[in-house]
């Protein structure tokens, strides 16, 4: 055993220094790995936060989608009633017309809009072709009649417009 005041031989000192250097290199590698893991964890947390924010935004924007789809049938029936009684000036017809206007105003308030179809080019993302017709002059693929109105909510399709298209 060496005395505390005694100097270590050069070989022992070199071995002790090499061990300390190896330990330092190992600790540096461990620190680097831990930093990498920390950065990855922070990035993953940020990605989850962004995804949840986007889902929250979508949920608030499109929460009424199911309810809106159910009300589309009501709008269709009001339109059918008005078309069937076209030209009737009775108070009943006026009442049905006012009800349809109020319903469409409520749709607009919540970002629900009717898809314009007649005269437009067929867009398979917004229209569903039900019939092909020979309808005089015009460009093929143009919508000539709307069989059922289509609707969007904000930028999402609620229901495609069912249309007839020029051959």
162 in the same domain as 114:
yes
What is this structure's pTM?
A: 0.65
88 in the same domain as 45:
no
Average confidence (pLDDT) over 43-55: 95
85 in the same domain as 146:
yes
118 in the same domain as 106:
yes
Q: What whole-number percentage of the chain has pLDDT above 70?
A: 93
93 in the same domain as 37:
no
Task: Give the model's confidence band at 35: pLDDT under 50 very low, under 70 low, under 90 confident, else very high.
Answer: very high
Rank 3-12, 35-44, 126-135 by mean pLDDT and report only the highest: 35-44
pLDDT at residue 1, as a whole number: 47
Q: Which two tokens stand for residue 155?
A: 């930028």
Residue 56 lies in a domain: yes
pLDDT at residue 6, as a whole number: 55
pLDDT at residue 146, as a whole number: 93
Average confidence (pLDDT) over 12-25: 80
pLDDT tens digit string along 53-110? 999 988 887 888 888 999 999 999 999 988 888 777 788 888 889 999 999 999 999 8
Q: How many domains does the chain have?
A: 2
Rg (CA), the chain: 36
pLDDT, averaged across the chain: 87
Rank 12-26, 42-56, 84-98 by mean pLDDT and report only the highest: 42-56
pLDDT tens digit string along 105-122? 999 998 899 999 998 999
pLDDT tens digit string along 142-152? 999 999 999 99
Segments forming the whole domain that contains residue 37? 10-61
Residue 2 lies in a domain: no
Q: Are strands 112-114 and 151-153 parallel, antiparallel or unpaired?
A: antiparallel
Q: Half-sphere exposure of residue 18, counting CA atoms within 13 Å on the CB side?
A: 6
33 in the same domain as 81:
no
Cα 54–chain centre separation: 8
53 in the same domain as 71:
no
Distances (CA, A) of 161 to 88, 117, 127: 27, 7, 5
pLDDT at residue 45, as a whole number: 96
CATH of residue 132: 2.30.22.10
| 69 neighbors 159 (Cβ within 8 angstroms) | yes
Task: Give the model's confidence band at 7: pLDDT under 50 very low, under 70 low, under 90 confident, else very high.
Answer: low
Q: Which two tokens stand for residue 147?
A: 């069989």
Residue 131 lies in a domain: yes
127 in the same domain as 72:
yes
């Amino acid at each position: 055993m060496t005395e505390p005041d005694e100097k270590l031989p050069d070989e022992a000192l070199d071995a002790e220094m090499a061990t300390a250097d190896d330990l330092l290199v190992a600790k540096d590698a461990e620190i680097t790995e831990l930093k990498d893991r920390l950065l990855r964890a922070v990035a993953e947390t940020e990605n989850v936060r962004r995804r949840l924010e986007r889902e929250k935004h979508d949920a608030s924007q499109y929460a009424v989608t199911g309810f809106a789809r159910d009300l589309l049938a009501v709008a269709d029936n009001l339109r059918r009633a008005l078309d069937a009684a076209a030209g009737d000036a009775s108070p009943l017809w006026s009442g049905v017309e006012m009800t349809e206007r109020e319903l469409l105003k409520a749709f607009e308030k919540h970002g629900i809009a009717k898809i314009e179809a007649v005269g437009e080019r067929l867009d398979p993302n917004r229209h569903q072709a039900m019939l092909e017709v020979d309808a005089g002059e015009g460009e093929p693929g143009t919508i000539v009649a709307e069989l059922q109105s289509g609707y969007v909510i904000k930028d999402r399709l609620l229901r495609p417009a069912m249309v007839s298209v020029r051959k």
